Amino acid sequence: MVFMLAEPAATGTGDENSLKYSMKWDEWLAESRIGPFPAAIVMVAAYLALQTVILSVLATWAGTGVGVDDAEQLIYLPYLWAGYGGSQPPLYTWINWLAAQIFGTNIFTLKLVKYSVLFLAACSVFAAMRRFGYTKATAAAAMLGLFTIPQIAWESQRALSHSVAVVGFCALLLLAMANLIERRSVIAYAVFGLATAAAILAKYNDVFLVAALVAAVLSLRELRDAILDPKFAISVAVAIVVLAPTTYWSLMHPADLLARGEKFGIDLQQGRMTAAATGAGKFIMGTFNFAVLPVLVSALAFALTGFRFSERRPKAPAREVLLWRTLALGLAMLAIFVLATGVTEVKARWLVPVLVILPLAMAAYMERLSPRGRDAQLLVIAAGAIIAVLLAPATWYFQINGTSGLSRMIRVDYAALYRQLSADGPVKTAISDGAWVGNLRLVDEKLVALDQEVPNFDRLVQEPAVLVWLDRDDPRPVILEQLKKAGYEPDGQPRQIMIPLLPSTDKSARPGAYIRLKRMAAEKATAPEEGVSKGAEGGQEPD
């Protein structure tokens, strides 16, 4: 980026104390086109495409696995179901399933899906802002502003899966609403219903954005006719039809739907006031952690452009009010939910469905403050681009080396582990108490990999099967109980092994063990039930 200070006016008049920034690269990014496409879209596409290729190549070269969230996707890749375990909705897994039919079971497939969904988010934000009538610079600032959010710029690239889908399909929902407000055609209403269902199937808490967006439109006299139109029934009908299979599946599998309810920290023994105070504090901290960087970037942009809040500003148009009101209503709904349910744990990424609106609203506010506001937009564009570029090498390092804690699974030599598991004969099913076992499907894509959260566990086991665990003398009771319910038991004594780690890891191996399984006698087997427990590798929480 090239920042150049303009010369003061020859007459000495005007605002001589302010600095005028001529950011040629950012202005080109905001206003120019590459062929038929906006330059900002092309550059984001190039960045995401490069990340897809580089991370895939690095993983293949280093022989690394994937983290808990992607490992969970590897477990489910063979199955196209209406719902999946671990309280997760199905849309992201459906997309991975489709990609795997074309590209196979490998890390490239997982990266392609992740970065394609992020590109969907970028394009949807840009198109939504243009559809609302904003300039190309505002649309570019809103889009690049997404990369000032740590949960998107870093966490989405580092580890997350379903939360990536939240960003993509919440942005698509906003685009569908912008299109609906402008056109109000039968097709526009049908598309909004489809986008609503897609957002909810991406992550169940996206329902807060759906409710906040509809409520915000209804609160604005200039826009409410779009919702009050009888054709809005088409949106409702389409959403219900698309959601029906997963809704039915969830009703039939309540244990899988509520499997990770403990992550909200609801303690019925705790006093309501204590729980409310704890939940409110965590909610405020989660909101702060999410919003602090984009707000600081915008504040710095205003400061560098000499903006004064004391200056008179034009009244906000309905399109801008819609964004701010959606943000406010969404946060209010989330706060009420936290206080009413006794939730005492709130993570910043859970707020993505609502707070993803923040950079869009700030970009819209900047347009209203032109000409200084436009300079601020260019600085936000620069900040988003710089953050994305600077974080890229960190994602490469993480893909090769992982970190401590849960990321240790990335450095396991899964090919060596697979050879040890199959030393006594072929293996068709590998079972563990965590989603990390999905990494074995990178070695043998025909292998059935299961943890205790997989629905229909008893019907998926194919013999011969092994139970494998890491860093413990014995398997966790939860997986043994799940096997008992499925009608299986250990066959003999566990075999202790040292599982090699990839070269340059701080340790050469991790202790582990495995044991082959056999069917129990009919009179000993317990009727199959759906097991519920914490997530992968020692109870960590996948996305």
- pLDDT category of residue 357 using cuts at 50, 70 and 90: very high
The confidence score (pLDDT) of residue 23 equals: 63
- pLDDT category of residue 268 using cuts at 50, 70 and 90: low
- pLDDT category of residue 533 using cuts at 50, 70 and 90: very low
DSSP state for residue 517 in the 8-state scheme = E
How large is the average pLDDT for residues 19-23?
A: 48
Give the type of residue at 101: Q
CB 342 within 8 A of CB 270: yes
Work out the mean pLDDT of the chain and round it to a whole number.
86
As a whole number of angstroms, the distance between CA 382 and CA 141 comes to 9
- 309 vs 276, more confident: 276
- pLDDT category of residue 473 using cuts at 50, 70 and 90: confident
Cα angle for residues 533, 537, 539 (degrees, 5° grid)? 35
This prediction's pTM: 0.90
CB 90 within 8 A of CB 84: yes
- pLDDT category of residue 1 using cuts at 50, 70 and 90: very low
The confidence score (pLDDT) of residue 11 equals: 40
How large is the average pLDDT for residues 166-189?
A: 96
Q: Which residues contact 508 (CB under 8 A, 6 or more apart)?
A: 500, 501
Query: Strand, helix or coil at 119?
Result: helix
The confidence score (pLDDT) of residue 39 equals: 92
Instruction: Centre a 10 Å sphere on the Cβ of residue 222 and count the other Cβ atoms it contains.
Output: 13
The confidence score (pLDDT) of residue 543 equals: 61
- 514 vs 7, more confident: 514
- pLDDT category of residue 269 using cuts at 50, 70 and 90: low
- pLDDT category of residue 539 using cuts at 50, 70 and 90: very low
Q: What percent of the chain has pLDDT over 90?
A: 60
The confidence score (pLDDT) of residue 261 equals: 66
Quick: pLDDT tens for 368-408.
887 788 888 999 999 999 999 999 999 999 888 876 555 57
- pLDDT category of residue 233 using cuts at 50, 70 and 90: very high
Asked if residue 252 has pLDDT above 70, the reply is yes
Asked if residue 474 has pLDDT above 90, the reply is no
The confidence score (pLDDT) of residue 362 equals: 95
| Two structure tokens written together for 169 | 């399909």
How large is the average pLDDT for residues 253-260?
A: 79
The confidence score (pLDDT) of residue 28 equals: 81
The confidence score (pLDDT) of residue 413 equals: 92
The confidence score (pLDDT) of residue 505 equals: 75
- pLDDT category of residue 529 using cuts at 50, 70 and 90: very low
Asked if residue 143 has pLDDT above 90, the reply is yes
As a whole number of angstroms, the distance between CA 113 and CA 235 comes to 27
The confidence score (pLDDT) of residue 238 equals: 98
DSSP state for residue 49 in the 8-state scheme = H
Cα angle for residues 514, 515, 520 (degrees, 5° grid)? 150
